[in-house]
Amino acid sequence: MNRQESEQDRLKRLRDQQIRARDPSVKEQRISQHITAQQKRKRKNENFIKDSVGDVSHKVKGVYIGAVLGLVIMITLPMLIEGRAAIIIGVAAFPFSMALGFIIGASFDWRDELRDHIK
């Protein structure tokens, strides 16, 4: 009798194991966990500041870079050269460098638009 019961238990465990293997909810859970892990990896590689700066056009970036460069020139030039001419040149360098940055940025935007139209 004992042998027959152990055989029945074995068959019952085997049947339960086969049912669990074919259970669609288990497969859906595995797929869901896999998708969730992929999304976490993608989110981990995202950087809000880097993405935000990447969305800004080259014209605007050029203006900001030109403004910083013009500000540096405007502050340091009077320290290096004495006289009223250094102050005037320093003040004139600020809008000039902003305009130059805008022009260079516009050329980069134009290049990107050309690349988009070619593809």
Q: Per-domain residue ranges for the chain?
A: 2-44, 57-118
At residue 11, does pLDDT exceed 70? yes
* Reported confidence tier of residue 76, pLDDT bands at 50, 70, 90: very high
Q: Which of 35-39, 62-66, 69-73, 106-110 has the lowest mean pLDDT?
A: 35-39
The gap from C-alpha 104 to its chain's centroid, in whole angstroms, comes to 24
Q: Quick check: 70 and 97 in contact, CB under 8 A?
A: yes
pLDDT of the residue at 108: 92
Average pLDDT of the segment spanning 18-41:
80
